[in-house]
Chain A
Amino acid sequence: MWVPTGKQIEKDALGDLTPVEVLFEFEEPLTFVCNDLDGQPLLAHSLCAEGVLSRYLISVTDQKVVQELKAGRLDVLGALRQPRCWIADLGADWEVVGLWLVPFDRVPKDYLPRSGAMITPDLDPIFWLRLIGPGVGPGNTTAADIRMAAQAAESGLRGLARIALDEKKQVGQVRHTIRDYSDLPYQYARAASFEIAFGPPQDRLPGVDDVVFDEMGRLLKIGLEALRTNGEDSVPVEGLNEDQTTQLFEAIKALTPPMRGGVDRIEVGGGLTDQLTTSRILTRDDRLRSVDRIKASKRITVKDAPFRVTGVAEGADKGLDFFVLRKLVPLNIPGVGPANEIKFYFDDHLFDKVSDAWISEERITVVGERIGNDFKALDIQESTLAPAASEGTESE
């Protein structure tokens, strides 16, 4: 084992380092609270082991830090980083075999927990992103940058969730909606290099959520690989249709830094990125490549002229990225032909209007366009039909 850089002190200087509260264990206590000679709490964290000896980093702590750690609002590195700490070699029965007083910055970084790693796996963020660039840091990061970071996460995850849920719904595996996997609860933020982390959905569905997040992670992986290996190719990503491929590159684009301003890279992390084998830092080049891929897919898509149709979006579709318009007026739509119902996809800017329509189930007028075999809502307006007309249609 490496020789600690610090002052070797009496082995009993801290007293008995037997755990009083184990915070994480695997086969043995790995991170725990123990008490010093005055009964004040110390945080012990396993660094390495050899034979019967285990080496721990010991830091002064308090109940507030321990609570933050257990709640997932503070990472292990943050909890350990204290001006005064010790390296302790512990043998059987927690006997202190060697003890050194060391400055925290002299502890080899290769042995310290990674930034953002939480005390238990279930507390690890699902997704985090960190802004990087000359305009990032205390006094530099602007409100617009912070908004951009939150929007990037929400938009990117929404795109991935949309494709993942499409696939899972086909085999009836999910009950949650896109928002449950994209509008994730804030977990923590760091100012030094602006970083924002998101935890799992509040209303968890154990097993099901993991499957969806795994699929979202897989999509991010294959999307980034496709983007970085053949960025100008318009061939769909393996396993996805053209529409899903476009959605995937839209999602990745949302996670990339803007072409101007002080943020020129965005690093992503968290459980969702565990499958990534390429760089986790998204650059402006990634943005250009994703724009090219999106443009390439749109060039081969034929759009028809917009049309207007009135109908009801039923609440059964609530939370999805499409709505089915029923009770149509007129029944024979110019450019579309006779139809009893139309499934419209919609972009985010229409979410509130669609949501209102789902809740009220009142008639709405949709300005839509046909793209191949799909229909997209361009705008949603209040219906100009008299209520009597709609009620009459319903009773018929």
Chain B
Amino acid sequence: MSTQSNAPRFPKWFVPGCPPSDAVDASGTIFRFVASVPSVPAEYLSYHETGERPNAPACQRCGLSVFRKVEDVRRLLRHLWKNYPGKSYGPHIVKRELSPDDGRIKATGSPGHQTWWAYEGVERHASFEFVETVQKH
């Protein structure tokens, strides 16, 4: 009799040791900025999948950038627009609830920023709701 496990697992293309062992079960509300609403699955691909940002930390490239507080997203967006106007960020903020079945999460990079590593088969773009559009000046 086979004893195939139904335990969730991460995609095989994740780099070794990713997510890190101190990442915790995903839970609670997360926010993220996107270019288009309603959600387009392509915007929820990791940089590892799209091949972009090759110089980002390898394990973070396998996950998605998320935030716990909407004000952190607003603040960061405005900062990015002011300092890096040639790059494309936002302008829409979306949110969704995470549960342990969705993967693992950990604070990474600058304050307020977290990386969410989704288990294989999790539809990352699903369940995201529009919160607001941040005004660009």
Contact = CB atoms under 8 A, between A and B. Distances in A.
Nearest to B75: A121
Contact of B55 (A24, A94, A117, A271): A94
B82 A114 contact: yes
Contacts of B22: none
A28 B56 contact: yes
Interface residues of B, number: 27
A98 to B, nearest CB: 16
B83 A117 contact: yes
A27 B75 contact: no
Contact of B83 (A52, A91, A92, A113): A113
Contacts of B74: 274
A30 B79 CA distance: 12
B87 A46 contact: yes
Interface string B103-114: 000000110010
Contacts of A76: 83
B76 A26 contact: yes
Contacts of A51: 51-52
A132 interface: no
B111 to A, nearest CB: 8
Interface in B76-117: 76, 78-80, 82-87, 109-110, 113
B86 A110 contact: yes
**Contact residue range for chain A?**
35 or more
A238 interface: no
26 contacts: A25-B109, A26-B65, A26-B109, A26-B110, A26-B113, A27-B56, A28-B56, A46-B87, A47-B87, A48-B86, A49-B87, A52-B51, A52-B54, A55-B86, A94-B55, A110-B85, A110-B86, A113-B83, A114-B82, A116-B82, A120-B79, A124-B79, A214-B71, A274-B137, A275-B135, A276-B137
A66 to B, nearest CB: 16
Contacts of A48: 86-87
A277 B134 CA distance: 11
B82 A117 contact: yes
Given A112-B85, A214-B71, 20 more contacts: A26-B113, A28-B53, A28-B55, A28-B56, A45-B83, A47-B86, A48-B86, A49-B53, A76-B83, A92-B54, A92-B55, A93-B55, A113-B84, A114-B82, A114-B85, A120-B110, A121-B75, A210-B71, A274-B137, A277-B135
A93 B86 contact: no
A31 interface: yes
Given A27-B65, A46-B84, A47-B86, A52 B52 contact: yes
B130 interface: no
Interface of B: 47, 51-56, 60, 65, 71, 74-76, 78-80, 82-87, 109-110, 113, 135, 137
A110 B82 CA distance: 10
Nearest to A111: B86
Contacts of A280: 137
A214 B75 CA distance: 11
Nearest to A2: B86
Contacts of A96: none
A27 B109 contact: yes
Nearest to B109: A25
A146 B82 CA distance: 26
The 6 A-B residue pairs with the shortest CB-CB distance, nearest first, are A111-B86, A92-B54, A117-B82, A48-B86, A28-B56, A121-B79
A322 B48 CA distance: 59
A121 B76 contact: yes
Given A26-B109, A26-B113, A275-B135, A113 B52 contact: no
Nearest to B71: A210
A76 B75 CA distance: 17
B55 to A, nearest CB: 5
A135 interface: no
A150 B77 CA distance: 29
A45 B85 CA distance: 12
Contacts of A113: 82-85
A108 B79 CA distance: 19
A124 to B, nearest CB: 7
Contact of B52 (A49, A119, A274): A49
A90 interface: yes
A26 B88 CA distance: 12
A26 B57 CA distance: 11
Nearest to A19: B55
A271 B82 CA distance: 11
B54 A91 contact: yes
Contacts of B71: 210, 214
A49 B74 CA distance: 22
- Listed residue (B82, B113, B137) with the most chain A CB atoms within 10 angstroms of its CB: B82
A124 B79 CA distance: 8
